[in-house]
């Protein structure tokens, strides 16, 4: 994507906006809750999660910050990331250096993924950057890339939350965003062939207010969190 190539050097996810910086100190504040949800979900499905010999792809990994979050959380999976923006991958290598030796990142042409390779695929706030006409194609590619029993975790901004819509409107990289309602995301994955689809909501409180984070687990079924997670399985 040309817009990401143009913004890739020193990519900061909009945190030059002082109002967004009031919510979280950096993009990492928004990634830690996602990592916790991922580990919780995989633990529920497979048992103790971080040391299992699983293979995971972060679809649309950008500057690889989520992969680094997983590595620094003690994850021992075989980690990969792909992105259509070569500029963002260059920024990932510049930013993370030796830390990325624990993960493989590669350029995707947007047309194909390896078939039946991954136990886990994540897409962290990626689909709203994809044209809606291509959502189905990408969902099908992800479905085909998973082994039987594999799990897809789709993290997205929640358009039902007015603060989320306001923050997206202020972020340069989201200028052309197409926010997905949770119901649309579930239908998209169901049509791609996924089963056992579930949804939870998070980021009810600003990430920098860490002492409130434990309260979030009691709110996950309320559809007003700043972001949401749809989990689906390939049977």
pLDDT (tens place) for every residue of the chain, 235 residues total? 555 555 555 555 555 555 555 565 567 788 999 999 999 999 988 776 666 789 999 999 999 999 999 999 999 999 999 999 999 999 999 999 999 999 999 999 888 899 999 999 999 999 999 999 999 999 999 999 999 999 999 999 999 999 999 889 888 888 889 999 999 999 999 999 999 999 999 999 988 888 888 999 999 999 999 999 999 999 9
DSSP E strand boundaries for the chain: 55-59, 78-83, 103-107, 118-124, 146-157, 195-202, 227-233
d(CA 72, CA 96): 12
pLDDT of residue 210: 82
pLDDT of residue 167: 86
pTM given for the model: 0.91
Question: Which residue ranges form the domains of the chain, and what is each CATH number?
Answer: 2-233 (3.40.50.150)
Side by side, the strands of the sheet bearing 195-202 are 103-107, 78-83, 55-59, 118-124, 146-157, 227-233, 195-202
Nearest of 113, 106, 102, 117 to residue 56 by alpha carbon: 117
């Amino acid at each position: 994507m040309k817009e990401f190539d143009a913004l890739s050097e020193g990519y900061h996810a909009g945190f030059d906006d002082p109002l967004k910086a009031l919510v979280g100190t950096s993009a990492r504040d928004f990634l830690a809750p996602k990592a916790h949800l991922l580990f919780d979900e995989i633990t529920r499905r497979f048992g103790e999660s971080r040391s299992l010999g699983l293979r995971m792809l972060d679809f649309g990994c950008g500057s690889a910050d989520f992969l680094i979050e997983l590595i620094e959380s003690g994850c021992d999976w075989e980690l990969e990331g792909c992105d259509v923006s070569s500029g963002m991958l260059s920024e990932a290598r510049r930013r993370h250096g030796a830390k990325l030796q624990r993960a493989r990142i590669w350029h995707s042409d947007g047309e194909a993924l390896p078939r039946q390779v991954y136990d886990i695929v994540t897409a962290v706030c990626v689909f709203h950057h994809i044209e809606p006409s291509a959502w189905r194609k990408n969902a099908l590619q992800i479905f085909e890339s998973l082994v039987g029993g594999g799990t897809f975790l789709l993290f997205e901004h929640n358009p039902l939350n007015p603060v989320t819509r306001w923050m997206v409107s202020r972020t340069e990289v989201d200028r052309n965003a197409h926010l997905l309602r949770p119901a649309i995301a579930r239908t998209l994955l169901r049509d791609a062939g996924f089963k056992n689809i579930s949804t939870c909501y998070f980021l009810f409180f600003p990430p920098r207010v860490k002492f409130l984070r434990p309260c979030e687990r009691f709110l996950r079924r309320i559809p007003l969190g700043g972001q949401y997670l749809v989990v689906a399985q390939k049977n």
